[in-house]
């Protein structure tokens, strides 16, 4: 199954994971179906460039100043970047989706996540004692991944290759491009703009 199809299924899975959830606030299923994955590359890349510029020049220094790592902080960092892009009108709110699921590096995942474990994570709510065992990233128009933390986490996991974080910290990924795909595969399980507020500790670094 393609990433796009997995993503659309993840959107429809909302009631399975969050039975009492309100509808997604930024877009509808009809909005998602309207995107043309084959024609959206230039818009996706422009969004990526804007996000990475502000991430490098504002967000990374702020987290460093406050002693907050980026590695293993995907839930809050993805949320921060989503809010930043919307607040500054860098993209239409329906273009970027907060996506929760699994990531595979060379066919293996550092996360032990299942449907049952994701349901339990959401049921527990804010978790002050343990890391949330799931990955979060942003999806542009159902087909392009913008992941602001995976390269930092790979570095923390002692990944052997030079990942070039100093100049390109955000992973821009698409399964149809061999270079962009690299050794990574993403498996969306849930699309939920409010996921961070459901499960994570409320420590945010504002852009200012």
Per-domain boundaries in the chain: 3-199
Q: What is the pTM of this model?
A: 0.92
The tokens 């009631």 sit on which residue? 15
One pLDDT digit (tens) per residue for the chain, 208 residues: 799 999 999 999 999 999 998 999 999 999 999 998 677 999 999 999 999 999 999 999 999 998 989 998 999 999 999 999 999 999 999 999 999 999 998 888 988 899 999 999 999 887 655 567 899 999 999 999 999 999 998 888 776 565 566 778 999 999 988 777 778 999 999 999 999 989 876 555 555 4
């Amino acid at each position: 199954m393609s990433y796009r199809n997995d993503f659309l299924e993840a959107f429809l899975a909302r009631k399975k994971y969050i039975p009492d959830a309100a509808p997604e606030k930024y877009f509808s299923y009809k909005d998602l179906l309207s995107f043309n994955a084959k024609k959206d590359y230039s818009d996706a890349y422009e969004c990526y460039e804007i996000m990475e510029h502000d991430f490098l020049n504002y967000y990374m220094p702020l987290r460093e100043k406050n002693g907050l790592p980026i590695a293993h902080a995907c839930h809050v960092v993805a949320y921060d970047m989503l809010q930043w892009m919307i607040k500054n009108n860098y993209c239409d709110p329906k273009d970027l989706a907060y996506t929760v699921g699994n990531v595979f590096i060379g066919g293996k995942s550092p996360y032990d996540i299942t449907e049952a474990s994701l349901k339990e994570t959401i049921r527990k709510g804010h978790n002050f004692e343990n890391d949330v065992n799931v990955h979060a990233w942003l999806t542009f128009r159902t087909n392009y991944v913008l992941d602001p933390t995976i390269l930092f986490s790979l570095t923390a996991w002692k990944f052997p290759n030079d990942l070039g974080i100093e100049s390109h910290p955000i992973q821009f990924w698409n399964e149809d491009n061999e270079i962009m795909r690299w050794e990574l595969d993403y498996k969306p399980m849930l699309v939920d703009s409010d996921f961070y507020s459901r499960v994570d500790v409320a420590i945010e670094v504002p852009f200012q």
